[in-house]
Chain A
């Protein structure tokens, strides 16, 4: 059974760096075809894809946010980390970690709410 859970700070100050961790189980990111992605949703607004890390350690980013994002996995191979630099209040929202299979985000974590405020 695939499960994912996001963790990270609930409150970040403007200009600071946000680090979010996705802890997953039920699949191996080393298996061909497996990928983990981050998606966010500002309050009352639409979903926005942020970044993806695949089984070959290839990284893909939303071109609009490319310069601010880094996605990686830790040595345990059961966590994927997203780093976003230079936070602004417009970056506030719920951040989701997802499993991707055949271009479909088929499993989602419950999401973590991040507020950017001084």
Chain B
């Protein structure tokens, strides 16, 4: 079983960009798609990125995803930060029989 490690928190000013990393402990990050979820306080998570870099309809194009095989990690970038982006963010991936969530990152808009 592998783990997905994220920074505990990141912050940025309105209008700026932040990036959140998600490092896979074993197995290649490129072998299985990575999803990203946003969770606002008191609410269930919602998908902001699926299949590494695809956005569901209704998610602003300020959200983008990527994968870097050299660091065996995925990243979520939020550009043009707004106060609405303040939330917890989780990456998620899988192997043949199990699903794994990342440790979670709190995004603060200063």
Q: Is the CB of B44 within 8 A of A104?
A: no
Q: Is the CB of B44 within 8 A of A96?
A: yes
Q: Is the CB of B90 within 8 A of A108?
A: no
- Which residues of chain A from 65 to 118 have any CB-CB distance to chain B below 8 Å in the complex? 96, 102-106, 108-111
Roughly how many angstroms separate A105 CA and B101 CA in the complex, as a whole number? 11
Chain B interface residue bracket vs A: 20 to 34
Q: Is the CB of B99 within 8 A of A37?
A: yes
Total inter-chain residue pairs, C-beta < 8 Å: 58
State how many angstroms separate the Cβ of A5 from the closest Cβ of chain B.
Answer: 11
Chain A interface residue bracket vs B: 20 to 34
Roughly how many angstroms separate A104 CA and B97 CA in the complex, as a whole number? 14
Residues in B with CB closer than 8 Å to A64 are: 1
Report if B51 contacts A (CB, 8 A): yes
Residues of chain A having any CB pair with chain B under 8 Å: 37, 39, 45-49, 52, 60-64, 96, 102-106, 108-111
- Having A48-B101, A60-B97, one finds 13 other A-B pairs with CB under 8 Å, namely A45-B104, A46-B104, A47-B104, A52-B99, A60-B98, A62-B98, A103-B33, A103-B99, A104-B35, A105-B37, A105-B47, A106-B47, A106-B50
